[in-house]
Amino acid sequence: MKVTVIGAGLGGLSAAAHLVQGGHDVTIVERDSIPGGRAGMIDQQGFRLDNGPTVMTMPDLLERAFNAIGCEMRDYVTLKKVDPMYRAVYADGSELKVLHGREAMAEEIRRFANGREAASFIEFCNWLERLYRAEMDSFIDANFDSPLDLVKPWRQGLALLRMGAFSKLDKKIASFFKDERLQRIFSFQSMYAGLAPYEALSLYAVITYMDSVQGVYFPEGGMHAMATGLAKALEEKGVLIRYDSPVTRILRAAGSHGAVTGVEIAGDERLAADAVVCNPDLPVAYRTLLGGVDAPRAARRGKYSPSCVLWVAGVKGLPPSEAAHHNIHFGHDWNGSFKALIEDGVRMPDPSVLVTLHSLDTKGLAPEGCSSLYVLEPTPNLDGTIDWSRERERIVGDIKNRVSSLGYPTDAVVERVYDPLDWEALGMERGTPFALAHTFFQTGPFRPNNIDDRVPGLVFVGSSTVPGVGVPMVLVSGRLAAERVNEYATR
């Protein structure tokens, strides 16, 4: 079958790899001049700055995409462990390093808190591992045709119920750790799912398993190297990747009805296809590429994740000696900050920020004596109350002052700022790069499906469809999309 993939993001590239495995003739059309989509790269004045996802977990899922086309990931992407995975800095001045390896981390917790909390960490890891095993094959790495599909893997569902996976995440984490600081470092991952720990279900602790137990990695050359490596492997296997080719419409057999027949590029060129895999943000794709077809209700009226302000910069100077690759600086009021962000739609009164220093332990990302900075502060999306046209300059100034006060160099040679209006201009619904929040009724079979019976031959891939947000989930979505194309080809 002839398949066109719209977008060379990680989801599109993963889908292409699994489509090649299925024997399909694959062409990728990408609007930009480089692969990666949201996992992009700014290459200027000797700096190579990632401007997308900054935390890589579950490298076996990327490996699976390479293996699908008969390649070994190590021949295209070199990964190394990030250790410590995080340096957590609390408002009281205390610091915790999140280390690779359960025993090493237990000893760090013993130093940071006490022996009881260290023993609890081992119990916590065991619980997370059971949670992951119960969720992965049946509820994450799976396509859904209806909510009834949740009932089929009943043994796993019963196991999740017994493990307390449907209780609130903050309460579950507190059942393991009495130290509020440890509760924070093992529950902040719910933000990846667009939820506060007090509103997320415990089943989303699977993100903590991927992150703090399985470990954090970093590709040599930056996060963007995942995309360039996979794109190179695909081209070597005969996949055509057309860059600078923006898709302006998905073509159908009867104008705005019937099965897909290809795509329109730049408003005039037409490329025929038997099936189309669509990597752009799902609600935006419905609105801009599929005239006359409304997006699913969840995409139109659902709850979207908070957004962020991202400041990426190449700066003169080096970070403080205690800095790690990833540094989380927590504010004072944990739950109050989430309430402001998610419920009130205003800026966190005492923001927590992530400061990532890719150049700290990776050569070639910054000139000698310089550093790369990746600074992220969660903010409301465009459903919030902030007028970004008026407030942007002040908020960005606050962020830069905060980073400077924490001891990081801020004399920028190259810099780029992304706020919710920028994310929206890049094609992300409600101005958030984190898509629909993972509430229970926006997850699994309740999330916008990767197929639509109204548009035969069209398959979605990426964070707005199943299984959801984050590099691991997007890579999985590629395999699920290819599975849907295989099903369509056999009808």
Lowest mean pLDDT among 5-9, 226-230, 349-353, 458-462: 349-353
The confidence score (pLDDT) of residue 153 equals 86
The confidence score (pLDDT) of residue 282 equals 98
335/291 same-domain check: no
The confidence score (pLDDT) of residue 151 equals 80
The confidence score (pLDDT) of residue 75 equals 98
CATH number at residue 467: 3.50.50.60
Q: How many CB atoms lie within 10 A of CB 150?
A: 17
The confidence score (pLDDT) of residue 148 equals 83
Query: Between helices 10-21 and 59-68, what is the axis angle to 10°?
Result: 40
Torsion over CA: 78, 84, 87, 88 (sign):
positive
What does the alpha-carbon distance between residue 388 and residue 391 come to, in Å, rounded to a whole number?
5
Q: Is residue 135 part of a domain?
A: yes
The confidence score (pLDDT) of residue 146 equals 87
Number of compact structural domains in the chain? 3
Does 446 have pLDDT greater than 80?
Answer: yes
285/317 same-domain check: no
Domain end position, chosen among 378, 403, 429: 429
Domain end position, chosen among 163, 194, 214: 214
Phi, psi dihedral angles at 167 (to 5 degrees):
-85, 175
Tokens encoding 125: 């890891």
The predicted-structure confidence for 13-29, as pLDDT tens digits, reads as follows: 999 999 999 999 999 99
- How many CA within 13 A on the CB side of residue 315? 24
Q: Is residue 44 part of a domain?
A: no
Does 483 have pLDDT greater than 80?
Answer: yes
Domain encompassing residue 28: 2-39+60-71+221-301+439-489
248/276 same-domain check: yes
Does 129 have pLDDT greater than 80?
Answer: yes
The confidence score (pLDDT) of residue 373 equals 98
Q: Is residue 33 part of a domain?
A: yes
- How many CA within 13 A on the CB side of residue 213? 20
The predicted-structure confidence for 251-274, as pLDDT tens digits, reads as follows: 999 876 799 999 999 999 999 999
The answer to whether residues 3 and 221 touch, using CB atoms and an 8 Å cutoff, is no
The predicted-structure confidence for 342-391, as pLDDT tens digits, reads as follows: 999 999 999 999 999 999 989 899 999 999 999 999 999 999 999 999 99
Does 125 have pLDDT greater than 80?
Answer: yes
Task: Give the global pTM.
Answer: 0.97
Domain end position, chosen among 195, 214, 233: 214
The confidence score (pLDDT) of residue 103 equals 97
The answer to whether residues 231 and 35 touch, using CB atoms and an 8 Å cutoff, is yes
Instruction: Tell me the pLDDT band of 154, cut-offs 50, 70 and 90.
Output: confident
295/358 same-domain check: no
The answer to whether residues 310 and 374 touch, using CB atoms and an 8 Å cutoff, is yes
319/270 same-domain check: no
C-alpha distances (whole Å) from 302 to each of 295, 417, 461 are 11, 27, 19
The residue type found at 145 is D
Percentage of residues in the chain having pLDDT higher than 70: 100
The confidence score (pLDDT) of residue 257 equals 75
The confidence score (pLDDT) of residue 162 equals 93
342/320 same-domain check: yes
What does the alpha-carbon distance between residue 292 and residue 287 come to, in Å, rounded to a whole number?
8
Query: Between helices 10-21 and 225-236, what is the axis angle to 10°?
Result: 30
271/289 same-domain check: yes
Instruction: Tell me the pLDDT band of 291, cut-offs 50, 70 and 90.
Output: confident
The confidence score (pLDDT) of residue 174 equals 98
203/231 same-domain check: no
The confidence score (pLDDT) of residue 228 equals 98
The confidence score (pLDDT) of residue 243 equals 98
What does the alpha-carbon distance between residue 313 and residue 315 come to, in Å, rounded to a whole number?
6
The confidence score (pLDDT) of residue 149 equals 84
Q: What number is the average pLDDT over the span 139-145?
A: 93
The answer to whether residues 204 and 190 touch, using CB atoms and an 8 Å cutoff, is yes
The predicted-structure confidence for 65-85, as pLDDT tens digits, reads as follows: 999 999 999 999 999 999 999
Instruction: Tell me the pLDDT band of 491, cut-offs 50, 70 and 90.
Output: confident
136/149 same-domain check: yes
The residue type found at 250 is I
Q: Is residue 81 part of a domain?
A: no
What kind and span of H or E run contains 441? none
The confidence score (pLDDT) of residue 310 equals 98
404/309 same-domain check: yes
423/368 same-domain check: yes
Q: Where are the beta strands (DSSP E) in 243-318?
A: 247-252, 260-265, 269-272, 275-278, 307-316
Tell me the average pLDDT of the chain: 96
